Structure 1
Amino acid sequence: MAFSSGGNKGPMAEINVTPLIDVMLVLLIIFIVTAPIMTYPIDVALPQRVINPPPVLKEPPPPIDLRVDPTNQVFWNNGPVAESQLQQLMEAEVQKDPTNQPELRIDASSDSEYEVMARVLAAAKNADMKKINFVQQQ
């Protein structure tokens, strides 16, 4: 607290403006530095009006249920299938409509061998299947 040096011995009733001036000088310097940056144009890609409406989405095909049981037998939509035929079946499904592929739902038993599951996933990858999900039946 500052005291006056005159005849009055009480505290000064004046505001100390030095910190206010310091803050204003800092803000002025920041404004001077950033103002030229704001004058450069920035390219913004705005969406354009589409004359043709988007195509109507087709209903997705029914999903494919692929199950691997504890004896490592593979089932395609509840029908047994050999592992060697899996990739051919998957390729046939992909070739029907490559843009609207069916979802492949894989349900592998916890007691099945990892190698069987690896071969199933390799067949799906080689057949270029895009929608692969893992499910577990209760």
Structure 2
Amino acid sequence: MAFGSFDNRNSGSALSEINMVPLIDVMLVLLVIFLITAPLLSHSIKIQLPQATSEPVQQDPKTIDLAIDAEGQIFVNEQPVALEDLTATLAPYSKDQPQPELRIRADTDTRYEVLAQVMSRSKASGLARLGFITRPGPSTKAAEQDGEAKPALESADKAEPKPAQ
């Protein structure tokens, strides 16, 4: 849109200036509208939040130690128990709140069948938390530092590939 002037000097040329006054008026009107409506948009409900301390509640973790030796003999808290009596022995512990964790330690030569029966009977007694205790083996880095290397890895590294037949 071209604007002309009223003097005769530049009668054929158009002004190339943008009139900023209407744009500033619109901006100010919008600013006033936002200043008025912004406080109305923030709704707040006054509530009283509970106060809590940052100290953790100290609870003694209750555990039941169950050990199985290589012959399949079962010990609950260091007391020998027959497999048939295991459900009755563990049932009173399931009523405790919070429920204790049953920690199973089994010998490496223990048959899996005995371990499966122990887990089944502990579930039947109502215990829901079950854990296994293992002994950590030597780490790979510690074995390499001691100069011990696994023979299977050495033989695999030294073996030459066989040609395909």
Structure 2-normalised TM-score? 0.45
CA deviation after TM superposition for structure 1 residue 67, in Å: 0.6
SS at match of 1:88: helix
Q: What CA deviation, in whole Å up to 9, does each residue of 1:74-115 have, x standing for no partner?
A: 1111121111111111111112x2x41111100111101111
Task: Give the total of aligned pairs.
Answer: 88
Q: CA RMSD in A?
A: 2.8
SS at match of 2:88: helix
Which position in structure 1 is the counterpart of 2:73? 73
Structure 1-normalised TM-score? 0.54
User: Is the CA contact 1:60–1:101 (under 8 Å) kept in the aligned structure 2?
Assistant: no
Report the residue type matching 2:86 in the other structure: L
Give 1 or 2 for the bigger CA radius of gyration.
2
Moved over 2 A (4+): 48-51, 56-62
Q: Mapping of 1:115-134 within 5 angstroms?
A: 115-134=113-132
- Highest RCO, 1 vs 2 (Cα 8 Å, sep ≥ 6): 1
Report the residue type matching 1:136 in the other structure: T
User: Is the CA contact 1:61–1:101 (under 8 Å) kept in the aligned structure 2?
Assistant: no
User: Is the CA contact 1:70–1:111 (under 8 Å) kept in the aligned structure 2?
Assistant: yes
Q: Mapping of 1:43-62 within 5 angstroms?
A: 59-62=59-62
Q: Calculate percent identity across the aligned residue pairs.
A: 33
SS at match of 1:71: coil
